[in-house]
Structure 1
Amino acid sequence: MAKRHKNKIAMVFAIVVLIVLIVLAMMIGRYHLTLQEVMSYFLNGASSSTKLILKLRFTRILAVILVGAGLSMAGTTFQSVFNNGLASPNILGVATGSSVGAASAILYGMPIYVTELAAFIMGILTMFLTLVIDHFLHSNSSITLILAGIIMAGLMQSILGSIKYIADPEDQLQSIVYWEMGSFMKVDLSSLFSVAPILIIGILFLFFARWRLNVLALDEATIKTIGINPTVNRNLMILVATLLTAAAVCLCGVIGWVGLVVPHISRSIVGGDNRWSMPMTGLTGAMLLLIADTLARSVTVNDIPISIVTGFIGVPIFIFILLRRKDTVV
C-alpha cells in the first residue's frame, strides 16, 4: 500500500512538472515571451504577432509531447515483450525503414506530406517483412524475431546508404541526413493532425492494455491458464508499438535514445510493474523530449537536430542507470 501511495505521488508530481515545462517551452525561444503573454494567449487576449508565435510553439509542443510519450511507451512495450532492457523502438528495423521511405521521397523531390506518408508506409512494410522472416524461420523465440529485425535493419541501412550516395549533395543529401537526425522544425497543424490520431490511439491502447505486459512476462503455461493467447497478445502489442514508432518517424524523423533510456528511468522511479511504469514512461518521455526540443530550438540561431540533443542527455543518464544496476541483469 505504501508503494502504491508513493507511485501515485510520483505520477501527480510528473504531471505537474510536465505542465510547468509546457509553460516554460512556450516562453523560451529566439523570441522570448513573458508568463503573462503566454497566459493571455490561452485567454484570447494576446496581440496578433504574439498569438502567431505562440500558436507555432504550441503546435510544436503538442507534437513533441505525443512523440515523446509514444516512443517511450513503445520502448517499454518492446523491452517487456522481448524481456530485454536493451530493446528499443528500432528493434524491428522500423525507424530505419521509415528513413528509407522518407529518403526515397526526398530523392524524387516529393512534397513534405508525401515524404511523411512514404516514411510511415515503409516503416510498417519493414515490420511486416521482419515478421515474414521470423515466420519462415519457424521459431517461437523472441530472440529469432530480434535477429530478423537486425537483418531487416541492416538491409534498410544499405538501401539508405545507396540513396544517400546518389542523392544531390547540395540539396537532397542534406535533407536526408537532417531527417535521419530528427527535427520538429517543419511540424505544422496539417502534419500534426494527420499523424496525431495514430499516436493518440496507440498511446491510449498501450495505457489501457498495459496489464497484459505483466501477464506476458509469465511462463506460457501460466498465461494460458489465465485465458490469454500469448502469441496473439504479443504480436498485438508489437504491432501497436511499431505503429507508434512509424508515426513518430514520419512526423519528425528518427529520434534516438528516448525509447531506450526513458523506460529505465520510469522503472527506477515506480518499479517494474507496467501498470505504473507505462504511464510514468509516457510522462517522462514527454518531459525529456520537451526539454531536448526546447534546447534544440533555443541554443543557436538554427534548429539543432534533436537526436544530437537527446544523445547528449540520454548517454549520461543511461550510464548512470547501468552503474546503479551493475549487479543486476538489465
Structure 2
Amino acid sequence: MRLKHQEFFKSHWPLLIPIPILLGLISFTLGRYPIGLDDLLKTIYWYINDPTQIIDPNMSTVLFEIRIPRVIVVIMVGAGISMAGSAYQGMFRNPLVSPDILGATAGASFGAAMGIIAQQPISVIQLYAFVGGLLSVFLATRFEKMVKYDPILALVLGGMLVKALFNAGLSIIKYLSDPEQTLPAITFWLMGTFTDVIPSHMIQVGIPLVISGIFLFVNRQRLNVASFGEEEARAMGINTKRVRLEVIGACTLITASSVSICGQIGWIGLIVPHLARSLTGPNYRALIPVSALIGSSFLLICDTICRNAFAVELPIGLLTSILGIPFFVIIFKQKAGRA
C-alpha cells in the first residue's frame, strides 16, 4: 500500500499545488481586521482594474501592504527551507540534517545581532544577517581542503565549529547588550517572526528562491546518485565536488535570505522533508517540489495560528518547535517500526 501511494504522488505531485493557494486565500481573510471572501475578491479585482472603485481604502491597505506580502513571503520561506533541508539530507546521507548544518542560521543570527546592537534600520539589519549567513557557510566549506579523504565529514566538522564560533559571538553580544532595549529586540528576532514583512521582501526572498530552486531542480538526478555515497557517485560519472558546491550554494542562498527576513525558524527544514519522503519516496524528481509544497503549507498554517490564536502575536519559531517535536517523534517511531 505504501509503495502504491508513493508511486501515485511521484507522478501526480502537481495535485498538491492547490493546497498552499487555498490556504493563502484563507489566510488573507483572517486577522485583526477580518475580510470576507467576497470583499477580498472584489478588492483584488478593483485594485488591478480600477483602484478608484475600491469602497474601503483601509481594506486595500491591509491586503496589499500587509497581508498579501506577508502570506507570499511565508509561502516562499517555507518552500525554500524545506527544499534546502531535503537536498542536504540527501547530500549528507543523514536524515537528521537541517539547512543550518553549515552554520547559516548561526551566522545570520550573529549578523542580525550586530545590526541591532549598532541600532541600524531594519533593512541594514537584514543585510547584516544575509552576509553573516553567507560568511558562516563560506568558512565551513574551507574545512573541505583540510580533510580531503572524507569531504562530507569535513563539511560537518566545519559546520559544527563555525556554529560554535558564531553562537559564542552571539552570546557575547547579548551579554553586552542593553537589557532594556537591544537585548529584548535580539531575543525577539531570534524567536522568528514575520511581523516586519513589507512588499519589497517578496523580491528579496523570491529572487534567491527562484535561482536556488533552478539549481536544485537541475541537480535532482545527481542528488539521487549522490545519496548512494561518494565513491558510488564518482563511479557513475558524477562530479561530486561540483554537485556539492552547487547544492550548498543554492541552499545557503535560500537559508540566508529567509533567516535575514524572519529570523530563526526551526524544525521546518528537518521535519518537512521526512513528510514529503513518506509520500514520494527518496526520488528527488518529486521530493524537491513536494517538499516545497508541504513546507509552504505547513509554515502558512503556523503563521496564521500565530497571528490569530492569541491576544498578541506569537513568535512563529516557538510554534514550529512545539509542533515539530511531536511530528519528529511520530516519524521516528514509524521508521523504527519498519526497520
TM category (shorter chain) comes to: over 0.9
| Contact 2:102/2:160 (8 A) holds in 1 | yes
1:280 matched to 2:282: no
| Structure 1 Cα separation of the partners of residues 229 and 308 of structure 2 | 49
Residue 145 of structure 2 aligns with which residue? 135
Q: How does 1:19-98 map to 2 (within 5 A)?
A: 19-44=21-46, 46=54, 47-55=56-64, 56-98=66-108
* Aligned counterparts, 1:150-165, within 5 A: 150-165=160-175
Q: How many residues are aligned here?
A: 329
Q: What TM-score comes out, normalization by structure 1 length?
A: 0.94
Question: Alpha-carbon deviations, 1:189-219, whole Å to 9, x = none?
Answer: 1233233211221123223322221021234
| Structure 2 gap ranges (5+) | 47-52
Displacement, 1:5?
A: 6.0
1:186 to 171, 191, 196: 196
CA apart distance, 1:220: 4.2
2-side partners of 1:26 and 1:207: how far apart?
A: 30
Q: Post-superposition shift, 1:159? A: 0.4
Cα deviation per residue 1:200-253 (whole Å; 9 max; x = unaligned)? 211232233222210212344543454331111122111211111111111111
Cα distance in 2 for residues equivalent to 1:220 and 1:318: 28
Equivalent residue letter for 1:31: Y
Find out whether 1:166 has 2:176 as its counterpart. yes
Alignment of structure 1 residues 1-330 onto 2, 5 Å? 6-7=8-9, 11-44=13-46, 46=54, 47-55=56-64, 56-327=66-337
TM-score, normalised relative to structure 2: 0.92
Partner secondary structure for residue 183 of structure 1: coil
The amino acid of 1:97's aligned partner reads G
More divergent stretch after superposition (130-139 vs 108-117): 130-139
Secondary structure, aligned partner of 1:325:
helix
DSSP 3-state at the match of 1:110: coil
Counterpart of 1:287 in structure 2: which amino acid? Answer: S
Give the SS at the match of 1:146: helix
Identity of aligned residues (%): 36
Root-mean-square deviation (CA, aligned residues, Å) is 1.9
Separation in 2, partners of 1:204, 1:42: 30
- More deviation, 92-101/170-179: 170-179
C-alpha change, 1:275 and 1:94, in structure 2 (3 Å) is same
**Counterparts of 1:22 and 1:283 in 2: how far apart (Å)?**
12
1:9 CA drift (Å): 7.2
Moved more, 150-159 or 128-137: 128-137
